[in-house]
Amino acid sequence: MTGIRSLTPPGQPRLLSPQPRRGEDLAAYLATGGYPAAPGPEHLLELVAAAGLRGRGGAGFPTAVKLRTLRDAPGDTVVVANGEEGEPGSVKDRWLLRHRPHTVLDGLRLAAMTTGAVRGYVYLSDPHSADAVRRALSERPPEVPVDIVPTEHTYVAGEESAVVRRIDGGPALPTAKPPRPFERGVGGVPTLVANVETLARLALLTAHPDAAAAVASSYLLTLSGGPKPSVLAEAPAGTHLKTLADHADRSGSAAVLLGGLFGGLYGDGWADLRLDHDELVAAGGALGCGAIHFLPPGDCPVGAAAHATGYLAAQSARQCGVCVSGTQALAGTLAALSRGDGSEEDTGNLRRWSLGLTGRGACGLLDAAAHIAATLLRHFPERVSAHQDGPCPSCADAPSHDGSRLTVTVP
């Protein structure tokens, strides 16, 4: 069972408190200062900008910029709480929707008031989350109408253009960009698509303005890997990955898969990396959705890369020919390497594809697969070469590449 652990300093407002496994009803949320009188839009924008809140869905875009862009847009606007957690190694969004639905709805309320939105949506695929949100909406009907929009659970369903497409009645598949949702989204009007943790932190920092910077610079993380139970954690920016590994009982890990499937693999020196969006990007990784998969000494990074790209290939939306062929080529070649059937030519192909496929799909799925291959070659060249002579014991015993090694259960 997935555990829960907070690494935030005592007394600091946090999302994993006060009773992390107990559902949040209206009375409990009001008792913690929830649904306060909203400050004026300009004041809230200044507060969010000063706190430095970034989006928690993957790209880490400054939240104040997104809010102001929608506020300055002409005509009606729409806000969406995006709770479709496509990353198999992440559980934070579903946990928030199941256990702290009022916090998410409060953040959606504040986003709507700041941008002048006429309607809100909660977009999700988890039935338990939907039930919790319905109960919360019945306890406190929102000032702006809010609809729950269910979708099928897939890797690409949470991509912002797929969110808009599904809410508008189509399939949850990405579309070509531009336009982006903030330009033309749901119903053709400018739309803010915000991750549910982003909205929850917006609510928390508004209720605790004196601690706004600390709230904005803390992260919900899903820590997994190996046979031990996964951990949903909350930690402040600057925390070393070694500290996270220690708290998740994964000391001595040989490597990490960062940011879900988007940040790639990292080998020697991973323990010195810190929980910081810009620092991880500069190191060639990414914080992404805050999912960190630790590889214990017995796990082979070649097998992990094959497993991850195999999952991505199976999750392709199959709309872009280059994504279908590219992910299949990457996954097939890495699977051959993990079996010991690869060659120097295969390694050369991986290097060429990892550079040439980036940025060519409608969404980030192909980029994620290419980055996994690139970081495997960068950090583990000797392991790749060794697999040309035969599989290692770890890869020989590995299960099929179906995503099971990456999937985490919601606590």
| Residue at 381: amino acid letter | P
Which CATH number is 21-215's, of 1.20.950.20, 3.40.109.10, 1.10.3080.10, 3.40.50.11540? 3.40.50.11540
Contacts of 89 (CB under 8 A, 6+ apart): 222, 224, 257, 260, 261, 291, 293, 406, 407, 408
Question: Do 146 and 121 meet the contact criterion of CB atoms below 8 Å apart?
Answer: yes
Structure tokens at 336: 């051959």
What value, to the nearest 5°, has the Cα angle with vertex 191 and ends 122 and 80? 10
Residue 123 contacts by C-beta under 8 Å, 6 or more apart in sequence? 80, 81, 82, 83, 84, 149, 151, 158, 163, 166, 167
CB 144 within 8 A of CB 118: yes
Q: What does the buried/exposed string (b/e) look like for 52-91 if buried means 16 or more CB atoms within 10 Å of the residue's CB?
A: ebbbbbbebeebbebbbbbbebeeebbbbbbbbbbbbbbb
Query: Residue 226: which pLDDT band, with cuts at 50, 70 and 90?
Result: confident
- Could you give the CA distance from residue 69 to residue 78 in angstroms, rounded to a whole number? 12
pLDDT tens digits for 165-201? 999 999 999 998 889 999 999 999 999 999 999 999 9
Compute the distance between CA of residue 368 and CA of residue 346 in angstroms, rounded to an integer.
Answer: 19
> What is the residue-averaged pLDDT of the chain?
92
CATH architecture assigned to 217-295: Roll (3.10)
| Amino acid (one-letter) located at 395 | C
Q: Which CATH number fits domain 301-396: 3.40.30.10, 3.30.300.30, 1.20.1440.230, 2.60.40.10?
A: 1.20.1440.230
pLDDT for 400 equals 60
pLDDT at 402 over 80: no
- Residue boundaries of the structural domains of the chain: 21-215, 217-295, 301-396
Place of tokens 């930690």: 235
58-74 tens-digit pLDDT: 888 999 999 999 999 99
| CA 381 to mean position of chain CA atoms | 28
Average pLDDT over residues 24-41: 91
Strand partners, 224: 293
- R_g over Cα of the chain: 21
Look up tokens 């943790």; give the residue.
197
Name the band, by pLDDT with cuts 50, 70 and 90, for residue 403.
Answer: low
> What is the β-pairing status of strands 3-6 and 231-236?
parallel
Q: Would the pLDDT of 389 be above 90?
A: no
